[in-house]
Amino acid sequence: MNIIIAENYADMSEIAAGIIAKTVIEKPNAVLGLATGTSPIGTYKKLIEYYNNKLISFKNAHTVNLDEYVGLPEEHEQSYHYFMRDILFNHIDVKPENVHIPCGLGDDLEANCRGYERILKQNPTDLQLLGIGSNGHIGFNEPHTPFKSYTHIVELTERTRHDNARLFGFVGSVPKQAITMGIVGICHAKKILILASGSNKADAVHDMVCGDISEHCPASILQLHSDATLVVDKEAASKLDESAISQSV
Ligand code: GLP
């Protein structure tokens, strides 16, 4: 894994936006795998800045998001559909028909999962942006999700629901289930870009980079990816072994 230690959140965001911008410049019709959460917000702001300065365009790009809560309508302020429109899509020239986010609504969620797998097959991801949960989850693939998982419905752990409660006001309003791209879909991306900032991510970052490759830490599978880059601020990198940093390629 290539590891880039950033000074702080702003620095991390600028480095990550640079990597994504390069992908879109080199391949204007790139498929970008996008993530929600606090980690990528600064990156998205930078990309909007580059777009406004006419340095990049998303008019031929396609996007596939990682996940969505089950049961939240798209207009709900905490849905990932709303988040993506609010934080990114409303501010750039990506075509709505080229945007894909898993659907957590309806009576047949298994059909939604199968439908999303078809979308992923039609849109092989060039670059997958990821955050990491404090328990090592990627997307909403919680600890002990089989590495061979495809898009599926997940029961969120109490830890994840507590982590995300800050956005909902209180934990009782955080949905108990989500639909998420599986580990297989994530790892199929040609390039993976992982963001982590803050001391509450230090253990997860350590386990992802230096720990055993184990379903206990879903992100640890990324050690096996041939082109994975971690951009991490100093606090989140604080528990990394020196050897992991110096061996980083
Ligand atoms: C959320 C999302 C993940 C995200 C992670 C970290 O629950 N499902 O895709 O990467 O948790 O979130 P944050 O960046 O806010 O710490």
CB 168 within 8 A of CB 202: no
CA of 161 to the centre of ligand 1 (A): 11
Residue in the structure block whose two tokens are 């790139």: 30
Per-residue pLDDT of the chain (249 residues; tens, 9 = 90+): 999 999 999 999 999 999 999 999 999 999 999 999 999 999 999 999 999 999 999 999 999 999 999 999 999 999 999 999 999 999 999 999 999 999 999 999 999 999 999 999 999 999 999 999 999 999 999 999 999 999 999 999 999 999 999 989 999 999 999 999 999 999 999 999 999 999 999 999 999 999 999 999 999 999 999 999 999 999 999 999 888 887 665
Q: How many CA atoms lie within 13 A of 218 on its CB side?
A: 26
Residue 158 amino acid letter: E
Number of the ligand 1 atom closest to the C-alpha atom of 37: 15
For the CA of 35, the nearest atom of ligand 1: 9
The edge-to-edge listing of strands for the beta sheet with 2-6 is 2-6, 228-233, 191-196, 127-130, 31-34, 62-65, 99-100
Dihedral in degrees, nearest 10, Cα atoms 145, 150, 156, 157: 10
Centre of ligand 1 to C-alpha 56, Å, is 26
Ligand 1 mean position to 160 CA, how many Å? 9
Q: Whose CA is nearest to atom 1 of ligand 1?
A: 37
Answer yes or no: pTM beyond 0.85: yes
CA distance 103 to 70: 8
